[in-house]
Amino acid sequence: MIRDRLIQFGSLGVAVAGMAIAGSMLPSIGEDAERHSLRYTDQNVDNAPPIVALGTAIGALRGLVVDYLWIRLNLMQNGGMYYDMLEDARLITKLQPRFPQVWIFHGHNMAYNVSVLTSTQEERWDWVKKGIDLVRNEGLRYNPEEVLLYKDLAFWLGHKVDGVSDDAHPYYKRQFAKEWHDLLGEPPADHAAMTEWIREIADAPKTLDAAIKRTPSVQTLIDRLRDEYARYAGEAEELALDAEFLRRVAWWESVTGQSWIADQLDAEKLLEDSDDTLFAAFGSLMDDAELDDAWATLLAHLRYRSLVDDYNMRPDKMYEYTRDLGPLDWRHPQAHALYFARLGSQLGQHRVKKDKVHHRINIDRQQLHSLQDLARSGRVTYDPYSAVMPGRFPEPRFIETIDDMFEELYIKYVDARGAGGETFMPFMENFMSSAIREAYRAGELDRARAIMDRLDSLFGSGASPPNHKYDGDLDVFVMEQTKGEYDRQPHIAPTDVVSSLRYAFRVGIGQRRPDVYKEAIGFANDVTNYFRTHESMDYETKLGTARMKDLLAVLGRSAEIAFLQVMTDPTISFDERAQIWAQVDEFEPEMRLRTSDRIRPIVARELAMSPLAATVDVDALLPEPLGIEAYRAALAERAVQEHQSVDDAKAVGVDRN
C-alpha cells in the first residue's frame, strides 16, 4: 500500500515537473512559431468542406488538413488546372494565414498563370489585380513584417504591370493610372508641391468626427451633398462617402477642366443637360469659396481612409518616400513597387536570418530597379478620357537618389556572404551608362559629363585595376552605347527620341538655333524609319495588339508628346515657355492648334498657384492661336462622324473589333 502511494506521488511529481518544464519552454516555442510563421488559425472557414471544418475544430489535425490541400494543389498545378486550384488555395490562406509562401503562391498563380489563359485584356487585368490585391490587402495584414511578401508584390507591380513582357501591358498601365487618379486626383508636378500634397493626406483626420472637429464647415458640406444626392438617387439610397465618392469627384474634375478630350466632346454641356443633379451639386458646392477648406479636409480624410482600409497602405510612409526619394507620382506602378520594396526592407529585415541574407539583398535590389524605371519614365501625364497609354517621361531627380542609395547599399552588404555588395555594381554601371545616353539626347551635356565622371571614378580610373573605359569622348561613348540597344530594348527608343526633341524645342526653337532642331528631327526620323522596317513590324499578339506598330505610333507622335512635356513642365520658366510658344509654328506648323486646349488649362492652374497670378494670365502668356475655333469645330465634326460610324456598324451587326 505504502509502495503504491509512493509510486503515485512520484508519478505526480514527475508530471508536475514535466508540466513546469514544458510551460517554461512555451514562450521560446511560441517565438519560434511566430518567427517562422508556423501558426495555424483557430477560426472557422465559411463554406469549407467537411474535412477542413473537422481539422479546424480538432486543432491537432489542422496541419494534416493543410498538407492534404497542398498535395492536391501541387497535383492540380502539374495538370494545368489553374482555375480549380483557386478554391483550395483560398482555404489554405484561411487555415494558415501566417505562412507567407501560400500567399505568394496564390497571388502569383492569379497574376501570372491564370491571367494569361483569358481571352480579353479586361479579363487579364482582373486576374492580375486579384493577385496583387490578395497579397497587399490580405497577406500583408496577417504578415506585416514578412520580407518575401513585400519583395514579390513589388516585383509583380514592376514586372507584370509596368513591364512590357505581357501583351496587355498598355491596358494595365491605363487601368492602374485611372484607379489611382480617381483615388488621389491630379498631383502637382513640382517636387516640393507634390510632397506637401501627399503630406496633407498623411496628416488628414482619421475619422469623420475628427474632420468635422478640425473644420466645422465639413458638416455643412456633407449635409448639402446628402440633400442633393437624395434629389438625384431618391430617399431610399443614402450618399456613401467612400472610394466611389472619390471616383465621382475625379470624374467631375476631369469633365470640368482636366480632360482635353472631355472638353472636345463638350461632356460638361451634355451632363448639364442631363438629369444628373449630383453633377450640378458638385459644381455649385465646388464653386462656393466658403467651402474650400471643408472640401480640402473632407477629401484628405476620405483619401487617407481609402489608402488604409482599401489598399493597406501607410500614407505617412508615402509622404516620407516622396519627401526623401523624389517626386513619386502614385499613378505609376513603379512608385508602388518602390513603396513596397522599401517598406518591406524597413519592417522585415530584422526577421531575416544571416543564412538568408539574399532575401534582404533582393528586396533592396528591387528598390534600385524601381528607381531606375522612375528615372526613365517617372513623370506621368494622364487624361481619364483618353484610350491611349498614359504619357510618361524622364524624371532625372531619381538619378541622384540611385547614386546615394547605391553607396548606402554597397556599404550595408559589403561583408555579406556571396560578395553581397559587389552584386549592386553591374546594375549601377549599366544604369549610369544609360543615364549618360539619355542626358546626352536631352541636350544636358553638363549632366551627361558629370555622370560619366562619376562612372569613371567608380568603375574606370577609380577601379582596381583602373581602366580607361569612361575617360574618353562623350559623343563616342553615347554612339557605342546606342549600338544594338534598340533591338534588345525597343521600349527605350521613344525615351531617346522624346528627350532629343525636348532639347530641340528648348534650344532649337526657344533659342532660335535651327541646326539643333534639324539634327533632333533627323535623329527622330532615323529611329522611326528603323522601326518602320523592323522585321517584327507585322507581328500581332493573340489579344490583337502589335507591339512594334504600337511603338511606331508613339514615335509618330513624339514631336507632339515632347512639346506637351516642355510646355507643361513646371521646372521650365514661364518666360522660356512663352518664347517657345510664340515661335513653334515656324518649325512645326499647326503645333499650337493641335495642343492648345491640352496645354493652356494646365498652365492656367499652374499660374493660379504662382506669385504671377495677380499680374499675368494664360491668355497673355500663351495666347490662343489663330484659327482655333475653326480647328475645334473640325474636331467636333470628326468626333460626330466617328460616333455615327460606330452606331451604323452596330446597327448592321458589324464587329469593328
pTM above 0.85, yes or no: no
pLDDT tens digits for 129-147?
Answer: 999 999 999 999 989 999 9
CA angle 175, 592, 441 (to 5 degrees): 70
277-292 burial, b at 16+ Cβ within 10 Å, e below that, comes to ebbbbbbebeeeeebe
Higher pLDDT, 623 or 553: 623
3-state secondary structure of 546: coil
Report the pLDDT averaged over residues 557-584: 84
For residue 47, pLDDT beyond 60: no
DSSP-derived letter for residue 60 is G
Is 12 a residue whose pLDDT tops 50?
Answer: yes
Residue type for 368, please? L
3-state secondary structure 574-629: HHHHHHHHHHHHHHCCCHHHHHHHHHHHHHHHHHHCCHHHHCCCHHHHCCCCCCHH
Please choose, from the candidates 621, 617, 559, 554, the residue with its C-alpha nearest in 3D space to the C-alpha of residue 590: 559
Return d(Cα 226, Cα 218) in angstroms, integer: 12
Return contacts of 369-372, CB within 8 angstroms, 24+ apart.
Answer: 369/158, 369/337, 369/427, 370/154, 370/158, 370/334, 370/335, 370/337, 370/338, 370/341, 371/325, 371/326, 371/338, 371/398, 371/401, 371/402, 371/405, 372/398, 372/402, 372/427, 372/431
- Helices (H), ranges, 379-424: 397-412
pLDDT score of 288: 82
Least confident segment among 51-55, 469-473, 474-478:
51-55
DSSP state string for 82-145: HHHHHHHHHHHHHH-TT-HHHHHHHHHIIIIIIGGGSSSHHHHHHHHHHHHHIIIIIIHHH-TT
What is the distance of C-alpha 373 from the center of its chain?
11
Residue-level pLDDT at 617:
86
| Helix boundaries (H) for 234-314 | 243-253, 260-264, 267-272, 277-286, 292-311
Tell me: the pLDDT tens digits for 416-465?
Answer: 766 667 778 888 888 888 888 878 777 778 888 998 998 888 888 888 78
pLDDT at 383: 76
pLDDT, tens digit, 9 for 90 and up, residues 349-360: 877 777 778 888
Taking the CB of residue 481, how many other CB atoms lie within 10 A of it?
15
For residue 255, give the nearest of 235, 237, 273 by alpha carbon: 273
C-alpha cell at 637: 465634326
Print burial letters for 401-423: b (CB count within 10 Å at least 16), e (below 16).
Answer: bbbebbeebbebbeebeeebbeb
What are the beta bridge partners of residue 393?
Answer: 379
The answer on pLDDT for 128 being more than 90 is yes
- Provide the pLDDT for residue 101: 86
Stretch among 23-32, 149-158, 182-191 having the lowest mean pLDDT: 23-32
Please give the Cα distance from 323 to 268 (Å, whole number).
36
Q: Cα–Cα distance between 471 and 483 in angstroms, integer?
A: 19
In angstroms, rounded to a whole number, what is the distance separating the alpha carbons of residues 377 and 326? 13
Statement: residue 186 has pLDDT above 50: yes
Q: For strand 379-381 and strand 391-393, is the pairing parallel, antiparallel, or unpaired? A: antiparallel
Q: In terms of pLDDT, which residue wins out, 633 or 643? A: 633
**50: pLDDT strictly greater than 60:** no
CA angle 515, 521, 527 (to 5 degrees): 140
Of these ranges, 73-77, 221-225, 332-336, 595-599, the one predicted with the greatest mean pLDDT is 332-336
Q: For position 38, what pLDDT does the model report?
A: 47
Angle at 295 between CA 293 and CA 299, to 5 degrees: 125
614 and 583 in contact (C-beta within 8 Å)? no
State which of 84-88, 96-100, 170-174, 467-471 shows the largest mean pLDDT: 170-174
* 3-state percent helix, strand, coil for the chain, nearest multiple of 5: 75, 0, 25
Question: 3-class DSSP state for residue 410?
Answer: helix
pLDDT for the residue 657: 40
How far apart are the two ends of the chain, measured CA to CA in Å?
Answer: 95
Q: Are 194 and 322 in contact (CB under 8 A)?
A: yes
What is the percent of the chain where pLDDT is above 90? 26
Retrieve residue 29's grid coordinates: 516555442
User: Is residue 88 a contact partner of residue 66, using CB atoms and an 8 Å limit?
Assistant: no
Q: Are 562 and 505 in contact (CB under 8 A)?
A: yes
Any idea which of 89-93, 310-314, 332-336, 372-376 has the lowest mean pLDDT?
A: 89-93
Neighbours of 575 (CB within 10 A): 10
Q: Would you kindly state where each structural domain of the chain is located, as residue ranges? A: 200-311, 492-625, 627-657
Residue of higher predicted confidence among 296 and 164? 296
Instruction: Quote the crossing angle between the two packed helices 292-311 and 243-253, to the nearest 10°.
Output: 130
- Would you state the pLDDT for residue 481? 74
- The answer to whether residues 559 and 588 touch, using CB atoms and an 8 Å cutoff, is yes
CA dihedral sign, ordered 23, 25, 27, 31? negative
Query: Which residue has 514579390 as its cell numbers?
Result: 152
Residue 183 has pLDDT above 60, yes or no: yes
Per-residue pLDDT, averaged over 551-566, amounts to 72
Which of the four pLDDT bands, split at 50, 70 and 90, describes residue 49? very low
For 281-312, the pLDDT digits (tens) are: 677 787 788 889 999 999 999 999 999 999 99
Q: What is the mean pLDDT of the chain?
A: 79
307 near 201, Cβ under 8 Å?
yes
Query: What was the pLDDT predicted at 48?
Result: 46
More confident of the two residues 62 and 515: 515
Q: How confident is the model at residue 248 (pLDDT cuts 50, 70, 90)?
A: confident
- Give me the phi and psi of 391, to 5 degrees please: -70, 140
CA angle 116, 119, 122 (to 5 degrees): 85
